[in-house]
């Protein structure tokens, strides 16, 4: 039907069947059949054939006006799918709460400078919820922490940009202070992510084997707020080492006890090709990887 609509519009602009056929590199009889097929599909007479050459009926004129809009929308769709087209329109990025810090500012700013027609939309949420939004088409991609062993359901794919080692942290102590044992840490208060966090579950599993169930003093998604409570001596915490080195500045002490091997993969999760937005996704990945590497 699309080709038939195209033939009708070309007829309206060319003024005759012959000229429309010449513009479309087809025979006049082929153009005639296309218009007849469209008339049958719409159950309407679009050409007045009582005059020579045929001309559009009043309904045909209105159909042509609407058809031009249809063709433009199809061209827009083709441009959206074309990898070499200039990226434009909304680009929706999800960021896991665990990664929502200042390291993302520069990669995002780089996108707005490189692609001025882009409209960025950022959303911070739980990793599981972000992955569900990507799968549902509500986000173009999401930056999340994934366990090394975790597999994503198709059609989702993950592009790894960095790995992050998790460390236990406490309020800074004087030099020479002993590192606490697992048993001592199990009896301590903790500032952790809310339930549903795989890191929290893994840590609590280790602590449960060392002593009594750990006391959760605060459940907070935001790492900066967690760090503030840890600095105040409210409890121990579990944070990415890169985040601690970037923001703690000696105010807290990192603890790396034997048996703590919690390493997460920082990955960009997406659901297949993005058409003209592929260049945006590629640049975002490169800038994000460089940001974590530095």
How open is the CA angle 112-116-120, to the nearest 5 degrees? 45
Residue with token string 């359901």: 153
Tell me the mean pLDDT in the region 181-189. 89
pLDDT at 143: 92
Q: Give the fold, CATH level 3, of 85-294.
A: D-Maltodextrin-Binding Protein; domain 2 (3.40.190)
pLDDT at residue 238 tops 90: yes
Using a 10 angstrom Cβ sphere, with 0-12 exposed, 13-18 middle and 19 or more buried, the burial of residue 8 is: buried
pLDDT at residue 137 tops 90: no
Whether the CB-CB separation of 223 and 99 falls below 8 Å is answered with no
pLDDT at 80: 61
pLDDT at residue 177 tops 80: no
Local structure of 91: helix, strand or coil: strand
Local structure of 220: helix, strand or coil: coil
Q: Which of 26-35, 172-181, 248-257, 263-272 has the lowest mean pLDDT?
A: 172-181
Provide the 10 A C-beta neighbour count for residue 46.
Answer: 21
pLDDT at 163: 84
Whether the CB-CB separation of 101 and 122 falls below 8 Å is answered with no
Instruction: Characterize 198-224 residue by residue with b for buried, 16 or more Cβ atoms within 10 angstroms of its Cβ, and e for exposed.
Output: bbbebbbebbeebeeebeeebebbebe
Whole-structure pTM value? 0.62
pLDDT at residue 133 tops 70: yes
The residues, any chain, with a CB within 8 Å of residue 201's CB and separated by 6 or more, are: none
> What does the alpha-carbon distance between residue 120 and residue 118 come to, in Å, rounded to a whole number?
6
pLDDT at 175: 63
Instruction: Characterize 134-154 residue by residue with b for buried, 16 or more Cβ atoms within 10 angstroms of its Cβ, and e for exposed.
Output: bbeeebbbbbbbbeeeeebee
> What does the alpha-carbon distance between residue 155 and residue 244 come to, in Å, rounded to a whole number?
35
pLDDT at residue 103 tops 80: no
Report the percent of the chain where pLDDT is more than 70: 91
- Portions of the chain given CATH number 3.40.190.290: 85-294
Local structure of 28: helix, strand or coil: helix
Closest CA to 236 of 168, 163, 140, 164: 168
Tell me the mean pLDDT in the region 52-64. 88
pLDDT at residue 93 tops 90: yes
DSSP conformation class of 117:
T
Residue with the bigger pLDDT between 128 and 173: it is 128
**Dihedral sign of CA atoms 244, 247, 249, 250 in order:** negative
Q: For strands 89-96 and 141-147, give the pairing.
A: parallel
Q: Which of 13-17, 97-101, 192-196, 277-281 has the lowest mean pLDDT?
A: 97-101
pLDDT at 168: 93
pLDDT at 190: 96
Tell me the mean pLDDT in the region 272-294. 85
Residue with the bigger pLDDT between 158 and 176: it is 158
81-95, 192-206, 224-238 — most confident range: 224-238
Tell me the mean pLDDT in the region 279-284. 90
pLDDT at residue 255 tops 70: yes
* Average pLDDT of the chain to the nearest whole number: 85
Tell me the mean pLDDT in the region 115-132. 89
Please measure the distance between the N-terminal and C-terminal CA atoms of the chain and give it in whole angstroms: 54
Confidence of residue 174 (pLDDT cuts 50, 70, 90): low
Q: State which CATH number among 1.10.3470.10, 1.10.1060.10, 3.30.420.40, 1.10.10.10 fits the domain covering 2-81.
A: 1.10.10.10
> What does the alpha-carbon distance between residue 53 and residue 79 come to, in Å, rounded to a whole number?
36
């Amino acid at each position: 039907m699309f080709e038939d609509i195209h033939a009708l519009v070309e007829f309206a602009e060319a003024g005759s069947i012959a000229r429309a056929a010449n513009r479309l590199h087809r025979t006049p009889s082929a153009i005639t059949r296309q218009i007849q097929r469209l008339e049958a599909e719409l159950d309407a007479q679009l050409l007045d054939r009582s005059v020579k050459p045929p001309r559009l009926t009043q309904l045909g004129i209105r159909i042509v006006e609407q058809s031009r809009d249809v063709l433009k929308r199809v061209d827009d769709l083709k441009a959206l799918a074309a990898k070499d087209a200039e990226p434009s329109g909304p680009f929706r990025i999800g960021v896991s709460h665990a990664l929502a810090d200042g390291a993302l500012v520069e990669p995002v700013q780089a996108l707005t400078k490189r692609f001025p027609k882009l409209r960025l939309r950022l959303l911070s949420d739980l990793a599981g919820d972000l992955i569900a939004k990507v799968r549902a088409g509500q986000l173009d991609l999401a930056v999340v922490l994934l366990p090394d062993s975790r597999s994503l359901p198709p059609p989702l794919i993950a592009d790894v940009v960095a790995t992050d080692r998790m460390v236990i942290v406490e309020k800074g102590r004087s030099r020479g202070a002993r590192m606490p044992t697992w048993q001592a840490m199990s009896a301590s208060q903790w500032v952790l992510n809310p339930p549903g966090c795989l890191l929290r579950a893994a840590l609590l599993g280790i602590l449960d084997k060392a002593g009594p169930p750990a006391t959760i003093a605060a459940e907070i998604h935001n790492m900066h707020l967690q760090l503030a409570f840890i600095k105040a001596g409210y409890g121990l915490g579990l944070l990415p080492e890169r985040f601690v080195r970037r923001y703690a500045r000696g105010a807290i002490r990192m603890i790396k006890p034997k048996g703590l091997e919690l390493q997460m993969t920082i990955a960009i999760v997406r659901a297949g090709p993005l058409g003209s937005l592929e260049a945006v996704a590629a640049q975002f990945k490169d800038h994000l990887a460089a940001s974590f590497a530095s």
